[in-house]
């Protein structure tokens, strides 16, 4: 028995604050539990009432004669604290506090919530809330509506977790209209104790839950959340998780001093969490239910084993009786990461034998408006058997000769014999209703519009791709952590918190980064000597704690070709810097050997409270500012995550020998991202970092740091 079973399937339940007055929360919650035909024993607790809705009331939970597994508390914070103490004394193991006025209002409310949490943890009591709607378990063995939502949903195999109580009531209403059932429905409120991760782990083990939906406002766990949720979405019993995250905004990120910081923001953190853990992020409640439906789509084998139907690839066949919807589905298929399957000659020959001469035999297959169920059956059977097809979308528009029910029966007949997913779009409401009802009863996904069907198939493919991802052997890293710590301590002791190339390159070398010969010149004569010693060409850059963006200050000269040119460049750079910021401290000019040609990329990190270091990768140089084509991951990042990170940018083709260019050393980039992850975890003093550009050379020839910027903070 799981510890949260005492909350979701209690054999006895006390409602502390139950009221005999209609309209009060304590009355409505107690009434909802009664109306829901709760299968356990129910006790109202109210010192001022003899009974509530004809059920004998008790002054306190301690006065209840029998065992109490779970208590709902509907009292102001001050009285809730006392009630929690009594519940612990009584031996209650699960609590749901519905009342508001706790952490969310601050001050005394926050203090009371903290005390309640301490009491519960010391006693091994689990708590949901406070400031929540409650919990619902429609499964017949419990039939528990312990909430102030008047609607008891139908039982089903979808669980829903929400941080917003108000959203819960809307979702229940939408679910009823769309005939969705739930196995568990939870409003978590302030998450004083039980949070999303606790519930995800519980629901993953719940035999009644096949899909988990979430509404998230904020998470309080980072790396631990990613690791545990990854096991849920890709472990032995894979459970898909779909999430809406409120507040898609990067407000405040622009104040950061690095490219990584300015591009990151809170949404980049959440996108990284979802990407790394296998959670599918959606944009709307409508999408949430659309996509949940395709994940409940299962098939029973001849041996009785039930498995979820997932596409092996992204090649989709479309069968339609109308050209327009087929074109819409085609467009949305491509934009959803799918592609139209190309049929074999044998498939086209088969289609030709069953379809009229006016039909289109290529994908999308247009079987013409007068198509009866037999035509649908033959066309679907032909395309679904094609080895080059991973699944199908069937579109039906109601014509005068269309039999929606018979067509639905034909689709199900074919789909049952295939391991490939078949998703339907029966356009309309009244004329197709019998067919839609039949498909739903048989457990087959059906949509009203072709774009929804195609998007849902795309999400199904994303999950399939996630669980079937390859796992390469991890890199072996040879880092000099001790030397890096010495360099950081030395800089901080000298008051340096903004590091340029001189110190930054030394630090990066400790984690496997190749750097260029770099020296500081304090005079034009010295600059010429250093450049000559390195060998031309060189690049020269201003060194000043106040001038972070050197190019903006005219503080960079590239391709310096001889000693005289180096001396002149020194004077020019110093003059430009003085004009740019007359108050700036000018330490001199950096002379650096020019890197060999390569593709410019950027690596970076930005550290966040709770979540830790967020790593960034993208095309570097000016591209990062113009296109902002970057991907993010939270540390720790291993080889496989680094690989997906590099391939996650739109400009990845630039690294693969695009249009005759040499292939870049992508494996070296991946290895350096792992090194950057290690550095971020080992050294919490590093707050921000840009390695921009990192010059990536041809395949097998490595990469060289051309410029870097590191922000430190002493965190003794």
In tens, the pLDDT along 89-109 reads: 999 999 999 999 999 999 999
Is 660's pLDDT higher than 90?
Answer: no
Give percent of the chain above pLDDT 90: 76
One domain, residues 368 and 445: yes
Going by pLDDT thresholds of 50, 70 and 90, the confidence category of residue 335 is confident
Tell me the average pLDDT across 614-643.
87
| Domain CATH code at residue 383 | 3.40.50.261
Same domain, 452 and 526: no
Q: What is the pLDDT of residue 236?
A: 84
204: which residues sit within 8 A by CB, 6+ positions away? 212, 232, 237, 239
Whether the per-residue pLDDT at 257 is higher than 60: the answer is no
Q: What is the mean pLDDT of residues 629-633?
A: 92
Residue 640 lies in a domain: no
Please check the confidence at residue 620 and state whether its pLDDT lies above 80.
yes
- Average pLDDT of span 690-714: 93
Average pLDDT, the chain: 91
User: Of 467, 489, 504, which one is at a domain's C-terminal end?
Assistant: 467
pLDDT digits (tens, 9 = 90+) for 171-206: 888 888 887 889 999 999 999 999 999 999 999 999
Task: Let me know if residue 463 belongs to a domain.
Answer: yes
The count of domains in the chain is 2
Task: Give the burial class of 695: count Cβ atoms within 10 A of its Cβ; 0-12 exposed, 13-18 middle, 19 or more buried.
Answer: buried
pLDDT at 712 over 80: yes
Helix 563-580 to helix 524-534 angle (10° resolution) is 130
By three-state DSSP, how is residue 578 classified?
helix
The answer on 548 and 408 residing in a single domain is no
254 has a pLDDT exceeding 50: no
Q: pLDDT value at position 487?
A: 96
496 within some domain: no
- Residue 588 near residue 502 (C-beta atoms within 8 A): no
CB 110 within 8 A of CB 192: no
Same domain, 543 and 459: no
Q: Which domain holds residue 533?
A: 517-594
Residues 398, 325 share a domain? yes
In a domain, 525, yes or no: yes
Summarised one tens digit per residue, pLDDT across range 441-462 is: 888 889 999 999 999 999 999 9
- The predicted model scores a pTM of 0.90
Report, as an integer, the average pLDDT of 641-663.
90
Q: What is the pLDDT of residue 253?
A: 41
Is 340 domain-assigned?
yes
Q: What is the CATH number of the domain that holds 568?
A: 3.30.1490.20
The answer to whether residues 427 and 521 belong to one domain is: no
Q: Rounded to whole angstroms, how far apart are CA atoms 492 and 520? A: 20
HSE-CB at 595 with a 13 A cutoff on CA atoms is 21
Task: Give domain status of residue 418, yes or no.
Answer: yes
Structure tokens at 342: 């190309």
Task: Average the pLDDT over 340-348 and give the result.
Answer: 96
Structure tokens at 304: 């009785």
Q: How far apart are CA 589 and CA 570, in angstroms?
A: 7
Confidence of residue 301 (pLDDT cuts 50, 70, 90): very low
**Is 566 among the domain residues?**
yes
**Res 165: pLDDT:** 79
What is the C-alpha separation between 547 and 578, in angstroms, rounded?
Answer: 10
Cβ atoms within 10 A of the Cβ of 474, count? 11
379 part of a folded domain: yes
Instruction: Render 34-88 in DSSP notation, one character per residue.
Output: HHTT-SSEEEEE-TT-SEETTEE-BSSGGG-SS---EEEE-S-HHHHHHHHHHHH
State how beta strands 12-16 and 41-45 pair.
parallel
Contact yes or no for 73/44 (Cβ under 8 A): no
- Specify the pLDDT at position 296: 81
Contact assessment for residue 443 and residue 298, using Cβ atoms and an 8 Å cutoff: yes
Cis peptide bond N-terminal to 515, omega within 30: no
Domain edge (last residue) among 594, 615, 650:
594
> DSSP 3-state helix, strand, coil percentages of the chain (rounded to 5)?
40, 25, 35
- On whether both 439 and 521 belong to a single domain, the answer is no
- Which phi and psi angles does 137 have, rounded to 5°? -130, 95
Q: Do 454 and 340 fall into the same domain?
A: yes
Same domain? 451 vs 527: no
Final residue in a domain of this structure, among 567, 594, 621: 594
Same domain, 323 and 444: yes
- What confidence tens digit (pLDDT) does each residue in 35-60 have? 999 999 999 999 999 999 999 999 99
User: Would you place residue 464 in the very low, low, confident or very high pLDDT band (cuts 50, 70, 90)?
Assistant: very high
Q: Which of 394, 309, 269, 260 is nearest to 709 (CA)?
A: 260
Q: Are residues 348 and 449 in the same domain?
A: yes
303 pLDDT band (50/70/90 cuts)?
very low
- The phi and psi torsions of 286 (rounded to 5 degrees) equal -60, -45
Q: Which of 688, 692, 716 is nearest to 706 (CA)?
A: 692
> Are residues 463 and 325 both part of a single domain?
yes
The values of phi and psi at residue 568, to 5°, are -65, -40
User: 3-state DSSP call for residue 1?
Assistant: coil
Residue burial 519-558, b: 16+ Cβ < 10 Å; e: rest: bbbeebebbbbbbeebeeebbbbbbbeebeebeebebbbe
Compare 251 and 15 and report the one with higher pLDDT.
15
pLDDT at 314 over 50: yes
Strand ranges inside 427-530, DSSP E: 446-447, 498-499, 514-515, 518-521
Measure CA 511 to chain center: 29
């Amino acid at each position: 028995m799981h510890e949260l079973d005492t909350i979701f399937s209690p054999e006895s339940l006390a409602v502390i604050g139950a009221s005999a007055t209609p309209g009060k929360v304590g009355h409505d919650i107690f009434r909802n539990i009664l109306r829901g035909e709760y299968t356990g024993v129910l006790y109202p607790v109210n010192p001022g009432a003899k009974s509530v809705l004809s059920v004998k009331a008790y002054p306190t939970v301690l006065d209840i004669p029998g065992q109490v597994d779970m208590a709902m508390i509907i009292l102001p914070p001050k009285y809730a604290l006392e009630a929690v103490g009594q519940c612990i004394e009584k031996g209650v193991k699960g609590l749901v506090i519905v009342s508001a006025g706790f952490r969310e209002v601050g001050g005394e409310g926050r203090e009371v919530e903290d005390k309640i949490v301490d009491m519960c943890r010391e006693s091994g009591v689990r708590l949901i809330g406070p400031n929540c709607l409650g919990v619902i378990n429609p499964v017949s063995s419990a039939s528990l509506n312990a909430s102030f939502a008047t609607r008891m949903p139908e039982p089903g195999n979808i669980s829903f977790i929400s941080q917003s109580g108000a959203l819960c009531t809307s979702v229940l209403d939408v679910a009823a209209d769309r005939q969705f059932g739930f196995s568990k429905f939870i409003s978590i409120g302030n998450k004083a104790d039980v949070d999303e991760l606790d519930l995800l782990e519980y629901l993953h083990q719940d035999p009644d839950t096949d899909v988990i939906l979430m509404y998230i406002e904020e998470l309080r766990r980072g790396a631990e959340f990613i690791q545990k949720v990854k096991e849920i979405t890709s472990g032995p019993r894979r459970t898909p998780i779909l999430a809406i995250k409120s507040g898609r905004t990067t407000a405040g990120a622009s104040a950061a001093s690095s490219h990584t910081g300015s591009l990151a923001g809170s949404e980049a953190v959440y996108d990284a969490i979802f990407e790394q853990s296998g959670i599918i992020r959606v944009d709307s409640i409508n999408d949430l239910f659309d996509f949940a439906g395709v994940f409940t789509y299962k098939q029973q084998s001849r041996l009785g084993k039930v498995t979820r139907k997932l596409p092996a690839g992204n090649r989709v066949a479309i069968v339609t009786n109308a050209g327009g919807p087929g074109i819409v589905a085609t467009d949305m298929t491509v934009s959803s990461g799918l592609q139209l399957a190309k049929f074999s000659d044998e498939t086209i020959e088969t289609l030709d034998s069953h379809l009229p001469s006016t039909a289109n035999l290529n994908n999308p297959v247009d079987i013409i408006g007068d198509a009866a169920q037999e035509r649908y059956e033959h066309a679907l059977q032909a395309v679904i058997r094609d080895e080059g097809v991973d699944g199908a979308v069937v579109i039906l528009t109601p014509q005068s000769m269309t039999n929606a029910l018979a067509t639905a029966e034909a689709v199900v007949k074919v789909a049952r014999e295939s391991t490939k997913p078949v998703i339907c779009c029966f356009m309309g409401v009244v004329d197709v209703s019998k067919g839609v009802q039949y498909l739903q009863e048989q457990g087959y996904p059906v949509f009203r519009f072709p774009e929804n069907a195609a998007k849902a198939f795309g999400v199904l493919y994303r999950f399939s791709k996630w669980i079937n991802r390859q796992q390469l052997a991890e890199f072996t890293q040879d880092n000099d952590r001790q030397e890096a710590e010495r360099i950081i301590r030395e800089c901080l002791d000298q008051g340096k918190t903004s590091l340029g190339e001189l110190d930054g390159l030394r630090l990066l070398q400790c984690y496997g980064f190749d750097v260029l010969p770099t020296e500081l010149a304090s005079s034009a004569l010295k600059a010429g000597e250093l450049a000559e010693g390195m060998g031309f060409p060189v690049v020269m850059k201003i060194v000043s704690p106040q001038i972070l963006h050197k190019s903006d200050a005219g503080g960079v000269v590239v391709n310096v070709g001889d000693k005289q040119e180096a001396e002149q460049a020194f004077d020019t750079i110093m003059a430009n810097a003085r004009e740019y910021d007359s108050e700036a401290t000018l330490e001199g000019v950096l002379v650096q050997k020019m890197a060999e040609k390569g593709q410019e990329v950027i690596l970076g990190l930005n550290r966040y409270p709770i979540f830790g270091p967020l790593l960034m990768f993208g095309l570097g140089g000016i591209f990062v500012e113009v296109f902002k084509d970057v991907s993010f991951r939270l540390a720790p990042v291993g080889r496989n995550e680094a690989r997906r990170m590099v391939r996650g940018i739109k400009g990845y083709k630039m690294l693969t020998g695009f249009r005759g260019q040499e292939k870049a050393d992508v494996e070296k980039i991946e290895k350096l991202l792992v090194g950057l992850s290690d550095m971020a975890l080992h050294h919490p003093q590093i707050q921000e970092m840009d390695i921009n550009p990192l010059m990536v050379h041809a395949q097998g020839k490595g990469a060289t740091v051309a410029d870097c910027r590191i922000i430190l903070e002493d965190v003794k």
